[in-house]
Amino acid sequence: MNITRRHFLIGLSIAAIPGLSMAQNHGDHGSGHNGVHNSGHANHSNQDMGHDAHSNHTPGMSHGTKVGREGRPQDVKQTIQINMHDQNKFMPNRVEVKAGETVRFFVRNMGQNKHEFVIGSQQELHKHAQMMKQDPNMAHKDPNMISLKPRQRGGVVWHFDKPGTYYFGCLQPGHLDEGMIGTIEVK
Amino acid sequence: MMHTQISRRHLLRSAMAGTAAVGLSPWVNSAWANPKITQLGHAPTLSGTEIDLVVDETLVNMSGKDRMAVTINGSLPAPTLRFREGDTVTIRVTNRLQQDTSIHWHGIILPFNMDGVPGVSFPGIKPGKTFTYEFTLEQSGTYWYHSHSGMQEQQGMYGAMIVEPAMPEPIEFDREHVIMLSDWTDENPHRIVEKLKIKGHYYNRNEPTVFDFFKDVKELGFGGAMQKREMWNQMRMSPTDLADISGYTYQYLTNGTPQKANWTGLFKAGETVRLRYINSAAASFFDVRIPGLKMTVVQADGQNVEPVEVDEFRFGPGETYDVLVTPVKEAYTLFAQSIDRSGFARGTLATQMGMSADVPEMDPVQWLETQDMMGAMNHGAHGGHAGHDMGGDTMDHSAHEMAANTQTDHSAHGAHDAHAGHTMAENPLAKPSQQVRHSKHEYGASVDMRVDTPRTNLDDPGIGLRNNGRRVLTYADLRTLGGPLDPRKPEREIELHLTGNMHRYVWSIDGVEYGKSEPIPFQFGERIRVILHNDTMMTHPMHLHGMWSELESPDGEFLVRKHTISVQPAQRVSFLVTADALGRWVWHCHIMYHMDTGMFREVVVS
């Protein structure tokens, strides 16, 4: 193994300045605020065709919503935990949110079946649930929803701009009909 | 079923020595009149949902010298705890030491106040007191537990914890053995730290000699050999710094027993045997193999993986691998050499007691290679680093630190305007960032080197195992069954550098030792990418408490879920974490001496 000095200089630098003061604050990275390279926003939705470039499903439909819009993780003011159960229910099934705030729904699948958490109006949810019945294997992915396999957890970051009553439901075939729906009161 | 060959006579000899505290090491509690003898090599199994554990000092004799070990229920390793997934367990831990103690359940997901880290999760367990741990097991697999106080882990306070799955699992086997590998020293561990502080290479007996020099002259010519020496001298390092503490002081133990005891696990011909390998060493990486047997790795850190057949694997303190073997001969050697080839742990797998197989020679010591010091030598993407001055780099990297923040507000897309045929821009967080960002604190006395061109490949078995003619496991081989626990892409990315100064024997994260650091904040519910960038020449097994670390490939593909991730020298790896556990947690290197001298951080999820 013959490392030439020049080679060696390229890759490595040796610090030899003793006594630099070690300030009490955080490093320039890893601190969550000062200087973290933080590209918020990881889930790009695709628009009207619901055709997600990252998954290989047949171009199906979007199950997006006109209720509010996708929020940015750095704007989250409130985190709401929602657990999904095999009795086809959400716990809790009623939540309150302030208009103009960005909320993170942190969702866990506590059961042995697949479940989904989808935000929308009652009408939108029922329409999308019908579509899912016709094509149960339709892959769908939009920023207003998360599909979770058993034991998985995930989340949706959403911004509600207008007061009103909105809903979250599970679009797995039959689940909505059995009452797997919850309300979001935006005040 | 599990027996060791420690003769009764040997035990009696140890027992007699216990009548006088004279001659015992200075850290022995002199109040002992008749210290109890430690039971070595066959940890009792405790199961059910109510467990009582007693921490005490008991006598061991590993090498002809009587020493006191810190043990649980008088056994080394501590009792094997067998639980069922879904059970809520109550574990009462009574401290009979004269110092505080604690137990950390390594890799177990539980409420933070049950995690057992003194000063973070709870105050610790005072002498004479009992602390009751209670938690529900929401996972299954092979785990372990150990003290998180002082140097007790080095002194014998560790045991296996096996959680039976609630649902049938894909792994089929006829018989199982826990194979717990560890290191033992007759020295007082606190003295070891003192020695390392005085001279970082204290225990390195592989340093180059005049003979190596003549060999190099033959190979490289006089100029080349001089240059090679010159380089290492300039770095004030040694090319054989693979482990801080070596076989010079250590004995390597298999289930708490030294080589000569030849711990033996039994099997019947034709059986498939599951070996639950746990590295419970304080500071040693082991290269594990069973000459003559292929091992099928089926579990990593308690999580089932797609089976992969190997001849050998390396693991660091804190990591576990479950392997299946199908032995046909009468006896095989369980061989585990330390990474620096200063010694090995040995046991036997046999059809009856008293048998043994050939014990292989240790592999030769290897010098660190270019990739261990500089990482990737591909400078294509890293122009502008030539001309780094070895004599003290005062270059201001601040320009790199806030690399273009590509944050764009995509919120407009959420509103569903029709954008027929619209293709989205590449998600900036789809792949882990390759942009090296050294913290400004890395330019201080605590850091003796920085790597600007890290390697990101995960298919390197590491120094000493490269091209050895055997099939060696790497992280690139591991795929956790069922995929990630969270399907989300990361919402943000943080970068932490593993740093140190070998010479002063200080270790740190981002150049800041624990005592001077602030906690790392996680937001409850977020999905976060953590990049670990190793600016040192040693491999660090990094253990995050309370939450899983989901290792990804350099392209951002999920590979394997672990609780302890070993980062090789000059390597940059990344993993995703879901901050699903509120409270105060810790994150540290599981080499106890690195943790103790500063490579430790608190993480707060709020």
List of chain B residues whose C-beta atoms are within 8 Å of the C-beta of residue A144: 414
Mutation pick from B394, B426, B441, B513 vs chain A, by most beta carbons of A within 10 Å, is: B441
The answer to whether A136 faces chain B, any CB pair under 8 Å, is no
Confidence of residue B426 (pLDDT cuts 50, 70, 90): low
Test B427 with A18 for CB contact under 8 angstroms: no
Per mean pLDDT, which range of A120-124, B150-154, B365-369 is the poorest? B365-369
What is residue B424's DSSP assignment?
A: P
Test A15 with B418 for CB contact under 8 angstroms: no
* DSSP E strand boundaries for B281-387: 286-289, 295-300, 303-310, 312-315, 320-325, 331-338, 344-350
Q: Which amino acid is at B376?
A: A
Test A72 with B411 for CB contact under 8 angstroms: yes
User: Taking residues B401-418, what's their average pLDDT?
Assistant: 33
Q: What share of chain B has pLDDT > 90, as a percent?
A: 67
- Mean predicted lDDT score pLDDT of chain B: 85
Residue that wins the pLDDT comparison between A20 and B148 = B148
Confidence of residue B366 (pLDDT cuts 50, 70, 90): confident
> What gap in Å lies between CA B456 and CA B381, rounded to an integer?
13
Q: Name the residue of chain B whose CA is nearest to A39's CA.
A: B407
Test B410 with A44 for CB contact under 8 angstroms: yes
Write down the pLDDT at residue B302.
98
Q: Which residues pair with B565 in a beta bridge?
A: B542
Taking the CA atoms of residue A123, residue A128, residue A132 and residue A137 in that order, the dihedral angle to the nearest 10 degrees is -160
Test A154 with B486 for CB contact under 8 angstroms: yes
Q: How many CA atoms lie within 13 A of B340 on its CB side?
A: 24
Which among A25, A40, A53 has CB closest to B492? A40
Distant-in-sequence, close-in-space partners of A27: CB < 8 Å, separation ≥ 6: B439, B440, B441, B442, B497, B509, B510, B511, B512
Integer CA distances (angstroms), B542 to B532, B533, B563, B565, in order: 9, 11, 8, 5
Mutation pick from A5, A21, A45, A47 vs chain B, by most beta carbons of B within 10 Å, is: A47
A 10 A CB-CB count for A4 gives 12
Test A14 with B512 for CB contact under 8 angstroms: no
The answer to whether A93 faces chain B, any CB pair under 8 Å, is no
Write down the pLDDT at residue A137.
75
Smallest CA–CA distance, residue A32 to chain B, in Å, is: 6
Q: How many CA atoms lie within 13 A of B223 on its CB side?
A: 2
In this predicted structure, the answer to whether residue A51 has a pLDDT above a threshold of 50 is no
Q: Shortest CA distance to B276 belongs to which of B159, B375, B101?
A: B159
Write down the pLDDT at residue B116.
98
Write down the pLDDT at residue B236.
53
Question: Pairing between strand B50-61 and B88-95?
Answer: parallel
* Secondary structure of B23-81 in HEC code, one letter for each residue: CCCCCCCCCCCCCCECEECCCCEEECCEEEEEEEEEEEECCCCEEEEEEECCEECEEEE
Q: Which amino acid is at B593?
A: Y
Query: Which tokens go with A78?
Result: 């409130």
> What gap in Å lies between CA B374 and CA B537, rounded to an integer?
9
Contact (Cβ atoms closer than 8 angstroms) between residue B235 and residue B374: no
A 10 A CB-CB count for B144 gives 27
Confidence of residue B63 (pLDDT cuts 50, 70, 90): confident
Write down the pLDDT at residue B204.
75
In this predicted structure, the answer to whether residue B146 has a pLDDT above a threshold of 70 is yes
In this predicted structure, the answer to whether residue B161 has a pLDDT above a threshold of 50 is yes
> What gap in Å lies between CA B263 and CA B270, rounded to an integer?
21
- Mean predicted lDDT score pLDDT of chain A: 74
Helix (H) and strand (E) counts for chain B? 6, 35
Interface of A with B in 27-86 (CB under 8 A): 27-33, 35-49, 53, 62, 64-66, 69-74, 76, 79, 81
Distant-in-sequence, close-in-space partners of B507: CB < 8 Å, separation ≥ 6: B498, B499, B500, B513, B536, B589, B594, B595, B597, B598, B599
In this predicted structure, the answer to whether residue A40 has a pLDDT above a threshold of 50 is no
Q: Using CB atoms within 10 Å of the CB of residue B143, give its burial: 0 to 12 exposed, 13 to 18 middle, 19+ buried.
A: buried
Contact (Cβ atoms closer than 8 angstroms) between residue B516 and residue A20: no
Write down the pLDDT at residue B248.
77
Test B495 with A149 for CB contact under 8 angstroms: no
Test A37 with B403 for CB contact under 8 angstroms: yes
Q: How many CA atoms lie within 13 A of A84 on its CB side?
A: 34
Write down the pLDDT at residue B23.
37
How far the first Cα of chain A sits from its last, in Å, is: 69
Per mean pLDDT, which range of A1-15, B242-256, B329-343 is the poorest? A1-15
Interface of B with A in 528-547 (CB under 8 A): none
A 10 A CB-CB count for B188 gives 17
> What gap in Å lies between CA A41 and CA B489, rounded to an integer?
9
List of chain A residues whose C-beta atoms are within 8 Å of the C-beta of residue B367: 1
Q: If you count residue pairs, one on A and one on B, with CB atoms under 8 Å apart, how many are there? A: 276
Interface of B with A in 114-153 (CB under 8 A): none
Test A13 with B393 for CB contact under 8 angstroms: yes
List of chain A residues whose C-beta atoms are within 8 Å of the C-beta of residue B428: 39, 41
Write down the pLDDT at residue B181.
98
Write down the pLDDT at residue A133.
86
Q: What is the DSSP string of A49-77?
A: T---TTS---S------SSSEEPPGGGEE
Test A30 with B520 for CB contact under 8 angstroms: yes
The answer to whether A2 faces chain B, any CB pair under 8 Å, is yes
Write down the pLDDT at residue B289.
98
Q: Which amino acid is at B571?
A: Q
Length of chain B: 606
List of chain B residues whose C-beta atoms are within 8 Å of the C-beta of residue A65: 416
List of chain A residues whose C-beta atoms are within 8 Å of the C-beta of residue B494: 29-32, 36-38
In this predicted structure, the answer to whether residue A149 has a pLDDT above a threshold of 50 is yes
Which among A2, A66, A79 has CB closest to B524? A79
Residue that wins the pLDDT comparison between B390 and B201 = B201
Write down the pLDDT at residue B6.
41
Q: How many CA atoms lie within 13 A of A181 on its CB side?
A: 19
* Phi, then psi, of B300 in degrees rounded to 5: -130, 125
> What gap in Å lies between CA B204 and CA B238, rounded to an integer?
9
Contact (Cβ atoms closer than 8 angstroms) between residue B76 and residue B60: yes
A 10 A CB-CB count for B1 gives 8
Confidence of residue B477 (pLDDT cuts 50, 70, 90): very high
Q: Name the residue of chain A whose CA is nearest to B455's CA.
A: A11
> What gap in Å lies between CA B569 and CA B460, rounded to an integer?
11
> pLDDT (tens digit, 9 = 90+) per residue, A76-88?
999 999 999 999 9
Q: Which residues pair with B470 in a beta bridge?
A: none
Write down the pLDDT at residue B210.
60
Smallest CA–CA distance, residue B450 to chain A, in Å, is: 6
